[in-house]
Amino acid sequence: MQLQVGYELLYDCPQPTPMMLAVNIHFTRANDIVVPDLMVTEPAIPIAAYRDAFGNWCTRIVAPRGPLRLHANAVVNDSGAPDEVPAADRQHEVQHLPEECLVFLLGSRYCETDRLSDVAWSLFHGSATGAGRVHAICDYVHRHIDFNYEDARQTRTAWEAFQEGKGVCRDYAHLAIALCRCMNIPARYCTGYLSDIGTPPPYGPGDFAAWFEAYVGGRWQTFDPRNNTPRIGRVLLARGRDATDVAISNSFGQNTLRRFEVWAKAFDGTMTTVGGEPEPGAFGGADVRRHG
């Protein structure tokens, strides 16, 4: 099957504002891209591409004064199959982990392993190892956090999500990642498109989704504590330590995000876009950061 994925962002800046964006489909899906997700800017401005420290494809621009519309529309081949259910008993001892995994054992801005270590060991010391332990963590996080876009807060950390018991998909991912790291399982944050194919309506407002990958059984495997069930139509954009590394935009100056639209759906042969104002709460899961 094929998926149509895309976004529309409308910013309003009082002065020229540098921005960094992570909204490109991940290079691991490059062979699946039928229509590329080329960013279009209105008005037309220079665009520079680069790879960040985690290998994500990113973009640099200087937004002009006034309104700026950024949008892309892509078509991607997809198996149409639900996510693979990770199954591996093997959990590496820390001394045997590949070097690339080690940074994903450490605490980070939103994943405070120091504050959650005792909690993690009290909850999961007796669980199965490998993927079984990660599934146990996902089951716990899925039950512990109540999802509500109205409860979104970009500064909420894993510890705060644990204490408050509420949040959006990024909070599920942060808490699960932190608990995995506390149990010596490397875990990294993922963001991307996730379709509603195969799920019953009503569907929530379009948004970029957050999940994570854990290194078990000798490879990175996908886990989604927010949905906690295999889903169809998952398209990775970026990976990092937590949401700090994969914010869809970092802006260095004052600005207002006036429109935010995201879509991921089965492609019927006709390229379409989503217009109009976003539904309430449509800014809940994606990370949009302003500096200065």
**Does residue 184 sit within a domain?**
yes
CATH number assigned to the domain comprising residue 282: 2.60.40.2250
Q: Kind of pairing, strands 249-252 and 288-291? A: parallel
Residue 288's pLDDT is: 74
**Residue 284 predicted with pLDDT over 80:** no
Tell me the pTM.
Answer: 0.93
Give the model's confidence band at 203: pLDDT under 50 very low, under 70 low, under 90 confident, else very high: confident
- The reply to whether 151 and 240 lie within a common domain is yes
Check if the beta carbon of residue 237 is closer than 8 Å to that of residue 22: yes
**Does residue 87 sit within a domain?**
no
**Does residue 188 sit within a domain?**
yes
Residue 279's pLDDT is: 40
**Residue 287 predicted with pLDDT over 80:** no
**Does residue 200 sit within a domain?**
yes
**Does residue 147 sit within a domain?**
yes
CATH number assigned to the domain comprising residue 137: 3.10.620.30
- The reply to whether 101 and 131 lie within a common domain is yes
- The reply to whether 231 and 158 lie within a common domain is yes
Determine whether 29 is exposed, middle or buried from the number of CB atoms within 10 Å of its CB (0-12, 13-18, 19+).
Answer: middle
User: pLDDT above 70 covers what percent of the chain?
Assistant: 94
Domain count across the chain: 2
How do residues 233-264 score in pLDDT, each as one tens digit?
999 999 999 999 999 999 999 999 999 999 99
- The reply to whether 237 and 127 lie within a common domain is yes
Picking from 205, 223, 244, the residue at the C-terminal end of a domain is 244
Q: DSSP letter for 238, please.
A: E
Residue 277's pLDDT is: 46
- The reply to whether 231 and 253 lie within a common domain is no
Residue 286's pLDDT is: 67
Q: What is the mean pLDDT of the chain?
A: 93
Q: Which of 18-22, 47-51, 84-88, 212-216 has the lowest mean pLDDT?
A: 84-88
**Residue 281 predicted with pLDDT over 60:** no
Residue 283's pLDDT is: 44
Mean pLDDT of 154-183: 97
**Does residue 155 sit within a domain?**
yes
- The reply to whether 209 and 257 lie within a common domain is no
**Does residue 86 sit within a domain?**
no
How do residues 83-125 score in pLDDT, each as one tens digit?
999 988 888 999 999 999 999 999 999 999 999 999 999 999 9
**Residue 278 predicted with pLDDT over 60:** no
Q: Kind of pairing, strands 166-167 and 146-147? A: parallel
**Residue 280 predicted with pLDDT over 50:** no
Q: Which two tokens stand for residue 156?
A: 């909420």
Residue 256's pLDDT is: 96
Number of Cβ within 10 Å of residue 10's Cβ equals: 18
Sign of the C-alpha dihedral computed for residues 235, 87, 167 and 105 taken in this order: negative
* Structural domain harbouring 38: 2-80+246-291
- The reply to whether 58 and 192 lie within a common domain is no
How do residues 127-161 score in pLDDT, each as one tens digit?
999 999 999 999 999 999 999 988 899 999 999 99
**Does residue 89 sit within a domain?**
no
Picking from 227, 244, 261, the residue at the C-terminal end of a domain is 244
How do residues 69-81 score in pLDDT, each as one tens digit?
999 999 999 999 9
- The reply to whether 120 and 226 lie within a common domain is yes
- The reply to whether 234 and 129 lie within a common domain is yes
- The reply to whether 57 and 182 lie within a common domain is no
**Residue 62 predicted with pLDDT over 60:** yes
Q: Which of 73-82, 199-208, 211-220 has the lowest mean pLDDT?
A: 199-208
**Strand ordering across the sheet containing 249-252:** 48-51, 57-63, 17-21, 249-252, 288-291
- The reply to whether 203 and 131 lie within a common domain is yes
- The reply to whether 233 and 115 lie within a common domain is yes
User: pLDDT above 90 covers what percent of the chain?
Assistant: 86
Residue 273's pLDDT is: 61
